[in-house]
Amino acid sequence: MAYIGKSIESGTFSVLDTSGNTYNGSNTTFNLGSQVGSPAQLLVSHDGVIQKPGTDYTLATGGTQITFTTAPASGASIFIVEISGAVGGPLDSDLNGSELILDADGDTSITADTDDQIDIKIAGADDFKFSANAMNVLSGSTLTIDSGATIANSGTATGFGVALDDVSTGDAASTLATSAGNITIDAQGGDTDIIFKGTDNTTDITALTIDMSDGGVLQTRAGIGFPATQVANSGANVLDDYEEGTFTGGFSFGGSATGIAYNRQVGIYTKIGNLVFVQGYVSLTSKGSQTGTAQLTGLPFTSSSATNASSAGSMRVAQLTFANDTHLSLHIESGGVVLTFGDTASGAGSTAMDNTNFANNTGIEFGFTYTV
């Protein structure tokens, strides 16, 4: 008589070859010749009696063996059929909390029972839990997202935020958020700092701390670096340059240094913004024969275009000749990098000093500031 009914829409029945197994009333575990994901995938006949999964038998060794609760007797007739895939039609019914096994060895699954959450098990471990608006990582210490493309949040016009919340300590949640192209880091706990760490070669260091208990003061581990070439900023309250270094001071008379020889030429400077602090010592072994205004040359930066662009400074002079009641003054010429010595008598105008006021062994020790 022909079969009347609906044929299997998907899935297969496969008779497993168990001919190599020995049933002797002692052995309980036998090879299946296949890997099976769940005991429920097997239809097992023992001497014509259908066995109950989980009670009469279980799976062993990752689903490649079957273990009977009672050892089959010698000469037992064992008949095993594997049911693979969905039998009877597509999976379109209510699972009603049943565990959905996803892989062949039965250790990866999805379950949704009465607690309004979805549990995902991978390789035998409960890895993820999904509930309303939340995902929890249940095992391991790191969640890895491996993407070859940009991970973007485009579902809202109000921005994107991540709450960095240590639930175990009860601390206030800090946040990392974006809005209108801006990135906001918010350490919400009282007096909690924002700390930037990294690895210098092989040493872990704290490079920068923003101290919230001190009103947001920046504390750096190794100072603030400025580029070798200044990137000027027009803001009045912006520090855009800092530099330290040395320079070689010298003399000229009437703009010429011909014939001048030196014993020592020492100069150091610190530049902060547009203000330069200089100190140095210049001493002669020969003043040469040039005439004209005496100037100190070699300053490290060109001065401001404003006349007298230096602040008050100090000098100590040895072996310098000038008239009685003469005052030694100094200023930086407009747009220049030289220092001019003026001879100012009481009640009289200023007259520039020249070669005649110097001796061959004149030495000048100086310290002053000027603007650039």
Question: What tens-digit pLDDT sequence spans the chain (372 residues)?
Answer: 555 655 555 567 888 888 888 899 999 999 988 888 788 888 999 999 999 998 999 988 888 899 999 999 998 999 899 887 544 444 555 667 777 888 777 788 888 877 788 888 888 888 888 888 888 888 777 788 888 887 777 665 566 777 777 666 666 678 888 877 788 888 888 888 889 999 999 999 999 999 988 988 888 888 888 888 888 888 888 889 999 999 999 988 888 899 999 999 999 999 999 899 999 999 999 999 888 888 888 889 887 765 544 444 545 555 555 554 445 566 666 544 555 665 444 334 456 678 888 889 888 888 888 888
> Bridge-partner residues for 364, per DSSP?
282, 317
The C-alpha angle 139, 140, 141, rounded to 5 degrees, equals: 130
Is residue 87 a contact partner of residue 95, using CB atoms and an 8 Å limit?
A: no
Who's near 301: CB < 8 A, 6+ residues apart?
269, 271, 276, 337, 372
Q: Identify the helix (H) or strand (E) that includes residue 243.
A: strand 242-246
Is residue 303 a contact partner of residue 368, using CB atoms and an 8 Å limit?
A: no
pTM: 0.57
b/e 218-242 (16+ beta carbons within 10 angstroms → b): eeeeeeeeeeeeeeeeeeeeeeebe
What are φ and ψ of residue 212, in 5° steps?
-75, -25
Q: How many CB atoms lie within 10 A of CB 341?
A: 23
Q: Which residue has the tokens 């603007």?
A: 371
pLDDT of residue 198: 92
Q: What is the dihedral of CA 72, 73, 78, 82, to 10 degrees?
A: 10
pLDDT of residue 349: 47
Q: Which residue has the tokens 């008598």?
A: 345
- Alpha carbon of 1 to those of 4, 6, 366: distances in Å? 9, 15, 122
> Bridge-partner residues for 371, per DSSP?
275
Joined tokens for residue 295: 């100037």
Round to whole Å and give the CA distance between 87 and 130.
Answer: 29
Q: How many CB atoms lie within 10 A of CB 326?
A: 18
Round to whole Å and give the CA distance between 345 and 61.
Answer: 109
Q: Which long-range contacts (CB under 8 A, 24 or more apart) does 126-129 make?
A: none
pLDDT of residue 340: 60
Is residue 186 a contact partner of residue 175, using CB atoms and an 8 Å limit?
A: yes
- What DSSP string describes 330-370? EEEPTT-S-EEEEEEETTS-EEE--GGGEEEEEEEEEEEEE
Question: Any idea where the domains of the chain sit in the sequence?
Answer: 12-84, 107-137, 174-224, 245-371
b/e 268-303 (16+ beta carbons within 10 angstroms → b): ebebeeeebbbbbbbbbeebbebeebbbbbbbbbeb
Is residue 31 a contact partner of residue 20, using CB atoms and an 8 Å limit?
A: yes
Q: What is the dihedral of CA 71, 77, 83, 89, to 10 degrees?
A: -130
What are φ and ψ of residue 36, in 5° steps?
-120, 135
**What single-letter amino acid sits at 124?**
G
Is residue 175 a contact partner of residue 161, using CB atoms and an 8 Å limit?
A: yes
Joined tokens for residue 105: 């060895």
pLDDT of residue 346: 39
Is residue 6 a contact partner of residue 87, using CB atoms and an 8 Å limit?
A: no
